[in-house]
């Protein structure tokens, strides 16, 4: 038997069916902060469900389908019930999608005015940091260009501070209708009112600075603290620092996204760092202690064991990048590049010949039977075999 029960998007978002756009956005933001995978990985599926519910209810056409008992995301075309999904007929289907009524004298169902005051949008600004700044954390002064509250009318949009009045063109409905005839009968189409832009009200004496919008664009400076361990793509949220909404509505959030500048010595992989140290062949054979400076400017010692082979890696735990949450530092992987001298003077060459005679070793063509050392050729074969 087919399941005919449509999803309750209002219950998923935790709002009443009468919730306006601002209430929907406020509920979504609260749940998104709580359920985001970066904060709560176990709630990833619920986060996706909440996001879907918000996208559906914030779309006027999809919300009409929900209010009519259907599901706009249903693979059967939005039906929550048999036939036309619980609608009264063909005219209700078109009306749910387009706000239109069909038939003799059929009038379009009004969605109502959207209101002059609306919540503002979020804003995004990027900042480029050196790897050292990412490791230690950094405080940055940034210049942002966003809509801010008009200081002349304080968001009212009126030069005298008066309240807006009902729009004479649409009578406060926020939309105007036009009638057309088609093969299905009379069709009434609703569109946003050109006078009030769908708000349902107008300001009679617009502010000379913001022209009645209640907000103006301005460049301003802000201070942001980038936490230690932040890296490429990490975003820092500054609540209420985004775009002020139309009519002086509440400001959205500002997100500062980190861009990480490549480092000349260290390569980052998550919380771990990698670097290469060139080791003379004699030091690789006899062993050595090599001092180096870490990303935090601390002195560390790299212990090269006697007999170190090319490609060996020394791990310095706790010398990598700090985690954003918890502060635990990763590992610094020091890759050892054993350097064979390209030129030797007479005395050096003679000493090496003496060393060769003492070792009494001969070059060998490596075969599968004789390769017990896991040399380069063996590693290459394994790589090509996909091992």
User: Which is nearest to 113 in space by CA: 54, 196, 25?
Assistant: 196
Hey, what are 151's tokens? 């200081």
Cβ neighbour number for residue 122 with a 10 Å cutoff: 14
Backbone angles phi, psi at 20, to 5 degrees: -90, 180
- CB 269 within 8 Å of CB 298: no
What residues contact residue 95 under an 8 Å CB cut-off, 6+ apart? 64, 101, 102, 108, 109
Hey, what are 328's tokens? 């635990």
Q: Determine whether the annotation assigns residue 275 to a binding site.
A: no
- Order of strands across the sheet with 267-269? 267-269, 272-280, 329-339, 313-322
Between helix 44-57 and helix 21-35 the angle, nearest 10°, is 170
User: Which is nearest to 117 in space by CA: 155, 151, 146, 154?
Assistant: 155
Measured distance CA(81)–CA(354) in Å, rounded:
93
Compute CA distances 319 → 204, 273, 284, 315, 333, whole Å.
65, 8, 23, 9, 9
User: Which is nearest to 170 in space by CA: 203, 204, 200, 202?
Assistant: 200
Q: Determine whether the annotation assigns residue 134 to a binding site.
A: no
Q: Determine whether the annotation assigns residue 170 to a binding site.
A: yes
Binding residues for Zn(2+): 150, 153, 167, 170, 193, 196, 207, 210
Binding residues: 150, 153, 167, 170, 193, 196, 207, 210
């Amino acid at each position: 038997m087919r399941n005919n029960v449509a999803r309750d998007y209002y219950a998923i978002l935790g709002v009443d069916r009468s919730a306006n756009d601002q209430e929907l956005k406020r509920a979504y933001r609260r749940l998104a902060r709580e359920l985001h995978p970066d904060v709560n990985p176990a709630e990833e599926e619920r986060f996706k469900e909440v996001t879907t519910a918000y996208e559906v209810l914030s779309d006027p056409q999809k919300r009409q389908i929900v209010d009519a008992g259907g599901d706009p995301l249903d693979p059967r075309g939005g039906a929550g019930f048999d036939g036309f999904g619980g609608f009264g007929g063909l005219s209700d289907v078109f009306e749910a999608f387009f706000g239109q009524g069909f038939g003799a004298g059929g009038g379009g169902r009004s969605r109502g005015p959207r209101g002059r005051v609306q919540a503002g949008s979020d804003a995004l600004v990027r900042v480029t940091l050196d790897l050292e700044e990412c490791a230690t954390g950094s405080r940055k002064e940034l210049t942002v260009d966003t809509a801010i509250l008009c200081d002349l009318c304080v968001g009212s949009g009126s030069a005298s501070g008066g309240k807006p009045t009902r729009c004479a063109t649409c009578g406060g409905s926020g939309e105007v209708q036009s009638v057309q005839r088609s093969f299905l009968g009379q069709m009434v189409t609703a569109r946003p009112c050109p006078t009030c832009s769908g708000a349902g009200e107008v300001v009679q004496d617009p502010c000379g600075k913001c022209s009645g919008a209640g907000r103006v664009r301005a460049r301003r400076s802000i201070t942001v603290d980038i936490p230690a361990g932040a890296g490429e793509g990490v975003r820092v949220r500054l609540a209420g620092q985004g775009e002020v909404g139309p009519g002086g509505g509440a400001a959205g959030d500002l997100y500062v996204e980190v861009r990480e500048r490549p480092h000349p010595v260290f390569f980052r992989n998550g919380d771990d760092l990698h670097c290469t140290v060139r080791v003379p062949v004699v030091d690789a054979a006899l062993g050595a202690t090599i001092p180096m400076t870490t990303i935090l400017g601390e002195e560390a010692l790299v212990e090269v064991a006697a007999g170190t082979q090319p490609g060996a890696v020394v791990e310095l735990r706790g010398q990598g990048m700090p985690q954003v949450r918890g502060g635990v530092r990763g590992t610094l992987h020091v890759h050892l590049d054993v350097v064979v001298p390209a030129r030797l003077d007479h005395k050096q060459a003679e000493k090496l010949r003496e060393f060769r005679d003492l070792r009494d070793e001969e070059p060998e063509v490596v075969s599968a039977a004789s390769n017990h050392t896991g040399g380069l050729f063996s590693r290459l074969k394994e790589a090509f075999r996909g091992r």
